Amino acid sequence: MKTIPKIDFEVTQSLFVVSAPSGTGKTTLNRRLMRDHSDIVMATSHTTRPMRSGEKEAYDYYFLDIPSFEAMINKGELLEYAQVFGNYYGTSFRELRKLVHEGKKVVLEIDVQGWEKAKSTLIATKSIFIVPPSLEVLRTRLTGRGTDSIEAQQRRLRTAKMELMKSYLYDYFIINDDLEQAYVQLEAIIHHGQFAGISKQNGIRHCEGLIKEFELSSWDLGDLPENIQRDKKETG
């Protein structure tokens, strides 16, 4: 196996973390960004879940069996990982080093739980939180898919509330009220290196407002989970 040079993740300016509650459009935005700019790539995660129809190895995920994934954990090869519904998901240091060494701007699409774990390692990384304009819009987007059960929709909404409580972890905030405008802002941050979106202070304030909407809503979301569930990129 070819040796990948060590990268000092504390100083590299080539990594960008993008997180968002499920249904906020982050994967749509990130995929378009990669189509439009050849110097921008998305880091591919590892998983132990089976490959689904239409998915490609090394594009959607690196698909591993559980012993292989656990060996990566034991060797300290993963930046962050979690086990969800019996399957592991995680991001390897090797994947990030390879892409940074190739001179690419690397988008790391991970959830809030993953960024909370990785933040102390990726000190120079710019982090972007994409959020809905309102709780009602988020709920409409989730229910409008028509692919999730009521239980799954409730789980995603519970998770969104937990994620919004961690908004202070992020540097940039984009309110995805209009997909085209949100894309222009994301492109400005990652491709052009410009400030875009709203300030961190206003972003946190907006998230606090969304949390208050949760508390005032009449929806029965059930008990909140102890830990944030992973928001997989196919749900973005």
For residue range 67-112, list pLDDT tens digits in order: 999 999 999 999 999 887 678 999 999 999 889 888 889 999 988 9
Q: Which domain holds residue 174?
A: 126-218
Per the domain annotation, does 92 fall within a domain?
A: yes
d(Cα 221, Cα 205) in Å, to the nearest integer?
23
In a domain, 31, yes or no: no
Give the contacts of 8 (CB within 8 A, at least 6 positions apart): none
Portion of the chain with pLDDT greater than 70, in percent: 84
Contact in structure between 217 and 6 (CB atoms under 8 Å) = no
Burial status of residue 226 (CB atoms within 10 A of its CB: 0-12, 13-18, 19 or more): exposed
pLDDT band at 186 (very low <50, low <70, confident <90, very high): very high
Number of domains in the chain: 2
End residue of a domain, out of 77, 92, 118 = 118
Asked whether residue 180 is assigned to any structural domain, the reply reads: yes
Single-letter amino acid, residue 213:
E
Angle at 57 between CA 51 and CA 58, to 5 degrees: 135
Q: What is the CATH number of the domain that holds 57?
A: 3.40.50.300
Whether residues 130 and 211 share a domain: the answer is: yes
Claim to verify: residue 131 and residue 214 sit in the same structural domain: yes
DSSP-based helix, strand, coil % in the chain, nearest 5: 40, 20, 40
Instruction: Note whether residue 236 is domain-resident.
Output: no
Are residues 214 and 153 part of one domain?
yes
pTM: 0.84
11 domain-assigned: no
pLDDT of residue 155: 80
Residues 75 and 148 in one domain: no
Find the DSSP H helices in 53-193.
66-74, 93-101, 112-118, 135-144, 150-164, 179-190
Q: What pLDDT score was predicted for residue 182?
A: 97
Boundary of a domain, candidates 118, 138, 170:
118
Beta pairing partners, 108: 17
Q: Is residue 79 part of a domain?
A: yes
Decide which of 118, 136, 170 is a domain's last residue. 118
| pLDDT at residue 75, rounded to an integer | 96
What is the enclosing helix (H) or strand (E) of 131? strand 126-131
